[in-house]
């Protein structure tokens, strides 16, 4: 360990160095960065033309860079929701198994350091990599937008974009902790990776089908009860929670997440964008659920690792 550093800091530095030098991590980061920046490039010229033709379109123009699409490639927010879990799973699926297979885990725990430093350092280093990546991408998108459009984002737009990046980090951390949990509980790195990918594919492909079947068995389609059941069941999925939270932050025109408005709710409502405080109140349940899920998986992996027997090779 490096001299002059707290043991936990030294372990975090070591994990950061491993991530930076890892070809797998660099490929994942490059894939996410290129696809997201490609989506920005595809829509930024269209946004510039629309803003020059319609002055009202300039409102929340920077936010539209994250959500708009020209039809050829998905929007920035779609890429983050799709590739973010892969990044989290890729950074954590062999976090503990790699140390165990190399025989370095037992040697590390033989040092006078608490056992929980190992897991905490791995999570902190991976989370730091994710946070720096999303912050760099967000600032790069802002810089490109200012150069191309010549419009400076308002303080509210800047805060909404920062909140979007923070929610994205929490979303990826959810999958990172799930991967670390599999890495602690399973002996094979391949099995751990397949288990994480299986859960990701389940929520992406199969869970919406199951929700439609369950909601259809409880209520007739195109009814209020069917919409209620659909909304309640889909919010079990972390993908839905992320989409609702980020779309509300980046699209101030969204006034409800229920998919429908009653007559009492629609009566007297003003058709205007929501202020930032109201948007935060609207997505607070989604943010709380994502943070709670992240903490639950971290707690489970922490508990399993602390109780696990580590044998020297």
pTM of the model: 0.89
Are the C-beta atoms of residues 107 and 313 closer than 8 Å to each other? no
Judge whether 21 lies within some domain: yes
State the pLDDT at residue 1. Answer: 46
Both tokens assigned to 17: 């160095």
Judge whether 313 lies within some domain: no
Are the C-beta atoms of residues 51 and 58 closer than 8 Å to each other? yes
Question: Residues with Cβ < 8 Å from 228, sequence gap 6 or more?
Answer: 219
Judge whether 1 lies within some domain: no
Question: By C-alpha distance, which of 296, 305, 309 is closest to 122?
Answer: 305
State the pLDDT at residue 264. Answer: 45
State the pLDDT at residue 2. Answer: 47
Which pLDDT tens digits describe the chain residue by residue (313 residues)?
445 677 888 889 988 988 888 888 888 888 888 887 777 777 776 665 555 555 555 567 778 888 877 677 788 888 889 889 999 999 998 888 888 877 778 787 777 788 888 889 999 999 999 999 899 888 888 888 788 777 788 899 899 999 999 999 999 999 999 999 999 988 888 899 999 999 999 999 999 999 988 888 887 777 778 888 888 889 999 999 999 999 999 988 887 776 555 544 444 455 578 888 989 999 999 999 999 999 999 999 999 888 877 665 4
Judge whether 312 lies within some domain: no
**Structural domain harbouring 70:** 7-307
Judge whether 15 lies within some domain: yes
Instruction: Domain count for the chain, please give it.
Output: 1
State the pLDDT at residue 198. Answer: 95
- DSSP H or E run through 297: helix 276-307
Distances in whole angstroms, Cα of residue 312 to Cα of each of 32, 102, 138, 221: 38, 11, 44, 59
Both tokens assigned to 47: 């946004």
Long-range contacts of 274-282 (CB under 8 A, 24+ apart): 275/156, 276/156, 276/159, 276/160, 276/252, 279/160, 279/248, 279/249, 279/252, 279/254, 280/163, 280/249, 282/248, 282/254, 282/255, 282/256, 282/257
Judge whether 268 lies within some domain: yes
Question: By C-alpha distance, which of 168, 286, 198, 292 is closest to 235?
Answer: 286
DSSP 153: P
């Amino acid at each position: 360990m490096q001299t002059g550093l707290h043991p936990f800091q030294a372990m975090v530095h070591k994990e950061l160095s491993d991530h930076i030098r890892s070809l797998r991590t660099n490929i994942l980061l490059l894939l996410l960065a290129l696809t997201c920046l490609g989506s920005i490039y595809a829509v930024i010229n269209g946004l510039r033309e629309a803003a020059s033709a319609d002055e009202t379109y300039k409102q929340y123009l920077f936010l539209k860079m994250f959500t708009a699409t020209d039809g050829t490639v998905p929007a920035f927010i779609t890429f983050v929701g799709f590739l973010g879990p892969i990044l989290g799973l890729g950074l954590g699926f062999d976090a503990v198994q790699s140390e165990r297979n190399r025989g370095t885990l037992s040697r590390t725990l033989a040092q006078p350091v608490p056992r929980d430093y190992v897991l905490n350092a791995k999570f902190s280093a991976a989370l730091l990599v994710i946070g720096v990546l999303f912050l760099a991408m967000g600032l790069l998108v802002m810089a490109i937008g200012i150069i191309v459009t010549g419009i400076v984002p308002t303080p509210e737009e800047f805060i909404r974009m920062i909140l979007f990046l923070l929610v994205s980090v929490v979303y990826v951390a959810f999958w990172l902790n799930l991967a670390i949990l599999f890495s602690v509980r399973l002996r094979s790195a391949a099995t751990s990776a397949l288990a994480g990918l299986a859960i990701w594919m389940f929520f992406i492909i199969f869970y919406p089908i199951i929700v439609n079947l369950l909601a259809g068995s409880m209520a007739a389609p195109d009814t209020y009860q069917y919409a209620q059941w659909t909304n309640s069941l889909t919010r079990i999925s972390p993908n839905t929670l992320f989409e609702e939270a980020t779309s509300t932050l980046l699209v101030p025109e969204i006034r409800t997440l229920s998919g429908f408005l009653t007559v009492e709710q629609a009566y007297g409502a003003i058709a205007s964008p929501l202020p930032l405080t109201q948007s935060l109140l609207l997505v607070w349940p989604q943010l709380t659920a994502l943070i709670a899920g992240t903490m639950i998986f971290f707690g489970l992996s922490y508990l399993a690792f602390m109780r696990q027997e580590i044998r020297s090779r």
